Amino acid sequence: MNKKSLPEIRQNVSLHSMNTLGVHAVASSLVTIRSTDDLISLHQSEFFERDLPFVLGGGSNILFKNDITKPILKMSISGVDIVEIKDREIFIKIGAGENWHDFVSWAVLHGYGGTENLALIPGTVGAAPIQNIGAYGVELKDIFESLEIFDMQTGSIKTFTEKDCRFGYRDSIFKHELKGKIIVTSVTLRLRRKDHQINDSYTSLRNYLIEKNIKNPTISDIYHAVVSIRKSKLPDPASLGNAGSFFKNPIVEKSVFERMKNEFQEVPHFVVDKNSVKIPAGWLIEKAGWKGRRVGNVGTYENQALVIVNHGNATGDEIFRHAKSIQNSVKEIFGINLMPEVNVVE
């Protein structure tokens, strides 16, 4: 195998502009990855044998608790390529470094259905399957075809199917067995060219369409509705640092839900199956008295209790402690453990 030239490795790089929470953390070393060749050349230089790096996408689901001593790989692999066209479907391969919302906008503009409910979710395409992003009744796995990964141990490129990824609620194999072992380099999605399957089942989405008197919504209508709803609930990270929803909506046993309902009759919920119920984390946090509450430089957003915000110059540790306080309150009042959706990096 021919030796490939190494990408530039920068030292002591500020991560302030690379995380939407706006934390002033510093990376001891940072490498920008623009192709799989960059990863292969790093492997040939035994880079991955010295210290496994942290892979950074758009920085939208990250809390840097402090300065980062391990190397950081900033994923910037670009490209949107149509790989197959069928009668009703189109298969599109997207580079891991592409902005997720920009791709959704592109897909809707071209009349390709499937991503519209996932509009305005921050982050990169490569991070989407790791989290199995979801919103308004749709998850990434619903439109997923395959992805390619780089194996840091072997230096090889492999293809993963949906089954290989083991998708769950905001979860995948990449958060467990393969965490810190692979890097997603591209994602291939299966979208609809025609006969679009409109999903307007989510209550706030349906109410928006009724309010706008949209009776037969198109994928463009759904896209604009989702964008409008999300903008009304979530602050712009450019003006108020945040990582979107900080916690997952907990799924509890039916017996736990019934116990809660005896005390809080108005508790909102979604039935998952005959034994499990999902309860909105935002409702739990608001009931615990945290909505709109500020502690020093950190606060819980006034319009959405799921969102922790940086009011300016908050350290990663301050944000982490704020999140722990919320978890402790919810546990004490409801007996429910809130799990972070945000990836805490130390």
- Each residue's pLDDT tens digit, 203-218: 899 999 999 999 999 9
Residue 1 has pLDDT above 60, yes or no: no
Q: Is 220 helix (H, G, I), strand (E, B) or coil?
A: helix
- Continuous segment of H or E residues that includes residue 202: none
Catalytic residue among 145, 286, 318, 341: 341
Residue 263 has pLDDT above 90, yes or no: no
pLDDT tens for each residue of 83-112: 999 999 999 999 999 999 999 999 999 999
- Average pLDDT (169-180) is 92
Cα 184 from Cα 315, distance rounded (Å): 29
Paired residues of 189 in beta bridges: 92, 144
Global pTM value: 0.85
> Is 170 noted as a catalytic residue in this protein?
yes
> Is 245 noted as a catalytic residue in this protein?
yes
Paired residues of 124 in beta bridges: 99
Catalytic residue among 60, 139, 245, 293: 245
Catalytic residue among 76, 116, 139, 170: 170
Per-residue model confidence (pLDDT) at position 85: 97
Ordered domains of the chain (ranges, CATH): 9-75 (3.30.43.10), 80-192 (3.30.465.10), 241-345 (3.90.78.10)
Q: How confident is the model at residue 2 (pLDDT cuts 50, 70, 90)?
A: low
pLDDT tens for each residue of 42-61: 999 999 988 889 999 999 88
pLDDT tens for each residue of 120-144: 998 999 999 999 999 999 999 999 9
* pLDDT mean across residues, the chain: 94
Residue 223 has pLDDT above 80, yes or no: yes
**Total Cβ atoms within 10 A of residue 162:** 16
Question: For the stretch 69-79, what's the b/e string if a residue is b when 16 or more beta carbons lie within 10 angstroms of its beta carbon?
Answer: eebbbbbbbee
Per-residue model confidence (pLDDT) at position 187: 98
Residue 240 has pLDDT above 70, yes or no: yes
Tell me the backbone φ, ψ of residue 249, rounded to 5 degrees.
-75, 120
Q: Is 150 helix (H, G, I), strand (E, B) or coil?
A: strand
Q: How confident is the model at residue 273 (pLDDT cuts 50, 70, 90)?
A: confident
